[in-house]
């Protein structure tokens, strides 16, 4: 199957999954009405007659949630693919090397201190502060893991994963300490970050998330050719004249930016960054020029599906989306670990 056709199918899959997600909820909206309302949002179809009640529910309640799910899924998918490419390891997922837990810790600290930090700020500046704080936490965790894993100037994969486990444990312990000291309101907000959810989506949060996700979505695919050279080894990439050090720094910064902002608005959503790139490589092969954009599309599709399952599995109660992705991702992680254990520990 040609790549263009696969991209088209992925794009259509994302669109129809998002439209189906928009139709589901406490008020069921017919699928054809969702399509008509979406068509009305396009300037050329503004004269289409639609149900005003459906339009209001979709515009105010459901569209922010679905769009936030698409952005977070795309961010996690492309970040996972880029991190795996830069570290040349199939298990190098943002959650495993401490990026997500570092971002979550700083988000929790800001939530716990929000009375002092966010007093006087509007919602949007507050969300930007949360996003920047999460980005800082993710960056610090990544820097620590990377520095610990370096041996003779090169990252050692086994050391990197062990350092990631240690950073995750430390961040988890500090998060637990903050949770223990939190009051009831703070505890409810912190629980949101720990379990992962899209239920807090608003247009303000979406606006806050857009720049943190779109910049990596644009710039990371531009580095795909260099990431392909990394598969040969850093020494070989340097001999080809590629700016290895600069590319590594930018990939880490961009992936950290996307994951940190995603954690800030949705909490920790595990395994999407691990699972999606592997599924894409089964379809497209290992060329990062195709893997990176396809991982963004498939990540958006899978997270939208997971959100639908979270909302409908035990309705009217809503499951945390992090539980769904963990249930789906853990068997895949174990499969990869067993299948490639010799290669991973080499």
pLDDT category of residue 17 using cuts at 50, 70 and 90? very high
CA triple 253-85-225, angle to 5 deg: 90
pLDDT digits (tens, 9 = 90+) for 158-185: 787 788 889 888 988 888 888 888 777 7
With CA atoms as reference, report the closest residue to 201 among 288, 291, 311.
311
pLDDT at 74: 95
Written as six digits, the tokens of 110 are 């800001």
Higher pLDDT residue, 336 or 37? 37
N-terminal to C-terminal alpha carbon distance within the chain:
35
Residues comprising the chain, all counted: 346
DSSP annotation string for 41-93 = HSGGGTT----HHHHHHIIIIIHHHHHHHHHHHHHHHHHHHHHHHHHT-TT--
- Range in 2-11, 149-158, 227-236 with the lowest mean pLDDT: 149-158
Give the range with max mean pLDDT: 116-130, 149-163, 192-206.
Answer: 192-206
pLDDT at 114: 64
pLDDT at 124: 59
pLDDT at 192: 64
Written as six digits, the tokens of 200 are 């807090």
Helix then strand then coil, % of the chain, to nearest 5: 80, 0, 20
Cis geometry, peptide bond prior to residue 316 (ω within 30 degrees of 0): yes
Q: How far apart are CA 264 and CA 281, in angstroms?
A: 29
Taking residues 210-233, what's their average pLDDT?
A: 88
pLDDT at 215: 94
**pLDDT surpasses 60 at 118:** no
**pLDDT surpasses 80 at 238:** no
How far is residue 47 from each of residues 33, 39, 40, 44, measured CA to CA in Å?
14, 10, 7, 8
pLDDT at 1: 60
pLDDT at 77: 93
pLDDT digits (tens, 9 = 90+) for 77-112: 999 999 888 877 777 777 777 888 888 888 888 877
DSSP annotation string for 93-122 = -TTTTTHHHHHHHHHHHHHHTHHHHSTT--
Contacts with 194 (C-beta within 8 Å, 6 or more apart), sequence order = 104, 175, 179, 267, 268
Return the H-helix or E-strand segment holding 150. Answer: strand 150-151
pLDDT category of residue 39 using cuts at 50, 70 and 90? confident
**pLDDT surpasses 80 at 332:** no
| Rg of the Cα atoms in the chain | 20
Q: How far apart are CA 141 and CA 95, in angstroms?
A: 11
Q: Phi/psi zone of residue 105: left (φ > 0), alpha (ψ -120 to 50 degrees), beta?
A: alpha
pLDDT at 117: 57
pLDDT at 178: 85
pLDDT at 115: 54
Percentage of the residues of the chain whose pLDDT score is greater than 90: 18
**pLDDT surpasses 90 at 228:** no
Higher pLDDT residue, 20 or 45? 20
Residues forming a β-bridge with 151:
154
Phi and psi dihedrals of 216, rounded to 5? -60, -35
Residues forming a β-bridge with 155:
150
pLDDT digits (tens, 9 = 90+) for 276-321: 888 888 888 888 899 999 999 999 999 999 999 888 887 777 888 8
Looking at every residue in the chain, the average pLDDT score rounds to: 82
- Range in 221-225, 229-233, 247-251 with the lowest mean pLDDT: 229-233
**pLDDT surpasses 90 at 268:** no
Q: How far apart are CA 339 and CA 336, in angstroms?
A: 5
């Amino acid at each position: 199957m040609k790549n263009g056709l696969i991209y088209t199918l992925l794009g259509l899959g994302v669109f129809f999954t998002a439209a189906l997600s928009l139709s589901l909820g406490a008020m069921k909206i017919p699928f054809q009405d969702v399509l008509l309302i979406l068509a009305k949002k396009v300037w050329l179809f503004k004269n289409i007659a639609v149900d005003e009640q459906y339009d209001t529910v979709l515009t105010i309640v459901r569209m922010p949630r679905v769009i936030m799910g698409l952005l977070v899924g795309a961010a996690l998918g492309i970040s996972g693919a880029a991190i795996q490419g830069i570290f040349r390891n199939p298990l190098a997922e943002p959650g495993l090397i401490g990026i997500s837990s570092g971002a979550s810790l700083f988000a929790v600290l800001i939530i716990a201190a929000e009375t002092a930090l966010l007093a006087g700020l509007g919602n949007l500046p507050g969300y930007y502060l949360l996003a920047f704080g999460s980005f800082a936490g993710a960056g610090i965790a990544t820097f620590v893991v990377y520095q610990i894993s370096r041996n003779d100037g090169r990252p050692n994969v086994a050391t990197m994963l062990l350092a990631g486990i240690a950073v995750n444990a430390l961040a988890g312990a500090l998060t637990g300490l903050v949770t223990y000291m939190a009051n009831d309101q703070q505890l409810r907000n912190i629980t949101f970050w720990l379990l992962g959810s899209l239920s807090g989506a608003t247009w303000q949060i979406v606006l806050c998330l857009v720049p943190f996700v779109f910049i990596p979505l644009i710039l990371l695919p531009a580095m795909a050719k260099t990431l392909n050279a990394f598969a040969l080894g850093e020494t070989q990439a340097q001999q080809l004249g590629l700016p290895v050090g600069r590319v590594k720094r930018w990939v880490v910064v961009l992936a950290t930016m996307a994951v940190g902002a995603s954690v800030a608005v949705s909490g920790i959503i595990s395994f999407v960054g691990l699972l999606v790139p592997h599924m894409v490589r089964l379809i497209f092969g290992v060329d990062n020029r195709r893997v990176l954009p396809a991982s963004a599309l498939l990540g958006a599709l899978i997270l939208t599906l997971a959100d639908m399952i979270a909302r409908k599995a035990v309705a009217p109660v809503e499951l945390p989306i992090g539980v769904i992705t963990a249930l789906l991702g853990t068997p895949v992680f174990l499969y990869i670990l067993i299948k490639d254990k010799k290669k991973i520990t080499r």
